[in-house]
């Protein structure tokens, strides 16, 4: 059963808080567009209760959109701070809003469409590969009306951007889009698998398969998932950093392998998705669980000494997402809506 306790404890009248001290929510950490967008996707899979969390998180995204359509990424003490804005946060929001277009509640789907229409031209100026990938996944899986006439051309434009990056960077021993592997790497091949499923582009399929295979050969080389650490990452010039391993990367890997399984039907990808999920509960370099049964939260990272005991929104949401995916609790109306974090 999916455990929402910590997510709900981190949610107040404004939205989802960013960080916690241990398991205690930290009001001074503020709120981010990233986390509330992820929370919106989770809320779409929650059973109805006394609090309408889907409306709550969608309203947060709506308030974060400025008059010119720009989405502000950080809120503290009622003030938005533009210096924290990022393309990645906008891409994740586009993905979340695309998920909300599937809602059977007209008010939810219409509001999601409206916010999307106000930002839909922004992705053409993106330079972040991950922002482009999040946007592509959302566009490929959205149930749209207003955006339908723009969608095919925008998907082609953005997927060509990723393919150009891939072709210009790859070599015989480096099948990747950049000269380094950093965070949420698997989102890049996942996006191209999504494009293939949407329009049958074989170039996207080949790049997705080869790049995901390259990544999986690295992160599963020891028989379990070893997330690439953020204390140095991995580049052509140096080996992978072991720590700190971030939970969001385990989720990203699980979702990409799941996407590959549904695109190709190969059991090896399903098995790897399940193995990535097990990272959270002890199939990792330390054989330690990152799930805190006392709170329902997820520890922030695997460190060289064990775990970081803080339980921020990103980590806990990534665990919830992956539990929903692997345990088959994503509703039938979202059959193709396998979204990463």
Please provide residue 22's backbone torsions phi and psi, each rounded to the nearest 5 degrees. 65, -125
Does 269 map to a domain? yes
Angle value at C-alpha 253, between 17 and 185, nearest 5 degrees:
80
131 by Cβ neighbours in 10 Å (0-12 / 13-18 / 19+) ranks as buried
Does 341 map to a domain? no
264 by Cβ neighbours in 10 Å (0-12 / 13-18 / 19+) ranks as middle
For the chain, 341 residues long, give each residue's pLDDT as a single digit of tens.
789 999 999 999 999 999 999 999 999 999 999 999 999 999 999 987 778 999 999 999 999 998 888 899 999 999 999 888 899 999 999 999 999 999 989 999 999 999 999 998 899 999 999 999 999 999 999 887 677 788 999 999 999 999 999 999 999 999 999 999 999 999 999 999 999 999 999 999 999 999 999 999 999 999 999 999 999 999 998 889 999 999 999 999 999 999 999 999 999 999 999 999 999 999 999 999 999 999 999 999 999 999 999 999 999 999 999 999 998 754 333 343 444 44
243 torsion bin: left (phi>0), alpha (psi -120 to 50), beta (else): beta
Q: Which helix (H) or strand (E) holds 190?
A: helix 187-199
CA distance 49 to 30: 26
165 by Cβ neighbours in 10 Å (0-12 / 13-18 / 19+) ranks as middle
Report how many domains make up the chain. 1
CA distance 42 to 54: 8
CA distance 16 to 30: 9
Does 85 map to a domain? yes
Q: At what angle do helices 87-100 and 33-43 cross, to 10 degrees?
A: 20
Does 101 map to a domain? yes
CA distance 142 to 99: 6
Beta-carbon contacts of residue 79 (< 8 Å; ≥ 6 apart): none
CATH number of the domain encompassing residue 182: 1.50.10.10
Q: Containing domain of residue 313, as a range?
A: 5-334
Does 55 map to a domain? yes
What integer pLDDT is reported at residue 51 of this predicted model? 82
Please provide residue 205's backbone torsions phi and psi, each rounded to the nearest 5 degrees. -60, -45
Beta-carbon contacts of residue 335 (< 8 Å; ≥ 6 apart): none
CA distance 39 to 290: 19
What integer pLDDT is reported at residue 334 of this predicted model? 39
- For residue 242, list its beta bridge partners: none
Does 340 map to a domain? no
Residue 100 near residue 54, CB atoms below 8 Å: yes
What integer pLDDT is reported at residue 270 of this predicted model? 96
Angle value at C-alpha 220, between 329 and 235, nearest 5 degrees:
115
Where b means 16+ CB within 10 Å and e means fewer, 72-105 reads bbbbeeeebeeebbbbbbbbbbbbbbbbbbbbee
Residue 92 near residue 39, CB atoms below 8 Å: no
Q: What's the Cα-to-Cα distance from 151 to each of 37, 93, 121, 131, 146, rounded to whole Å?
A: 21, 16, 11, 16, 10
Does 20 map to a domain? yes
Does 339 map to a domain? no
Long-range contacts of range 172-175, CB-CB < 8 Å, 24 or more positions apart?
174/214, 174/236, 175/210, 175/211, 175/213, 175/214
CA distance 136 to 126: 12
């Amino acid at each position: 059963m999916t455990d929402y306790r910590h997510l709900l404890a981190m949610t107040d009248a404004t939205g989802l808080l960013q960080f916690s001290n241990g398991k205690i929510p930290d009001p001074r950490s503020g709120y981010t567009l990233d986390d509330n967008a992820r929370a919106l996707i989770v809320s779409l899979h929650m059973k109805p209760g006394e609090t309408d969390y889907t409306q709550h998180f969608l309203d947060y995204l709506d308030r974060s959109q400025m008059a010119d359509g720009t989405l502000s990424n950080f809120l503290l003490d009622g003030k938005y701070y533009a210096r924290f804005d990022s393309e990645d946060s906008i891409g994740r929001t586009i993905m979340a809003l695309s998920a909300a277009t599937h809602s059977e509640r007209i008010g939810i789907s219409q509001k999601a469409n409206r916010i999307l229409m106000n930002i839909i031209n922004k992705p053409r100026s993106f330079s972040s590969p991950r922002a482009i990938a999040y946007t592509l996944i959302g566009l490929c899986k959205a149930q749209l009306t207003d955006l339908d006439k723009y969608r095919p051309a925008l998907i082609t434009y953005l997927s060509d951007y990723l393919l150009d990056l891939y072709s210009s960077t790859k070599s015989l021993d480096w099948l990747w889009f950049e000269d380094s592997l950093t965070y949420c790497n698997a989102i890049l091949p996942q996006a191209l698998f999504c494009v293939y499923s949407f329009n049958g582009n074989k170039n996207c399929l080949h790049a997705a398969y080869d790049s995901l295979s390259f990544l999986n050969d690295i992160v599963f080389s020891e028989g379990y998932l070893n997330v690439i650490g953020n204390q140095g990452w991995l580049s052509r010039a140096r080996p992978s950093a072991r720590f700190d391993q971030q939970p969001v990367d385990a989720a990203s890997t699980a979702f990409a392998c799941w996407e590959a399984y549904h695109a190709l039907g190969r059991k090896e990808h399903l098995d790897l998705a399940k193995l990535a999920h097990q990272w959270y509960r002890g199939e990792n370099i330390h054989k330690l669980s990152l799930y805190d049964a006392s709170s329902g939260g997820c520890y922030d990272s695997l460190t060289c000494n064990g775990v970081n005991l803080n339980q921020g929104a990103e980590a806990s949401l990534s665990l919830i997402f992956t539990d929903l995916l692997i345990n088959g609790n994503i509703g039938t109306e979202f059959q193709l809506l396998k979204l990463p974090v």
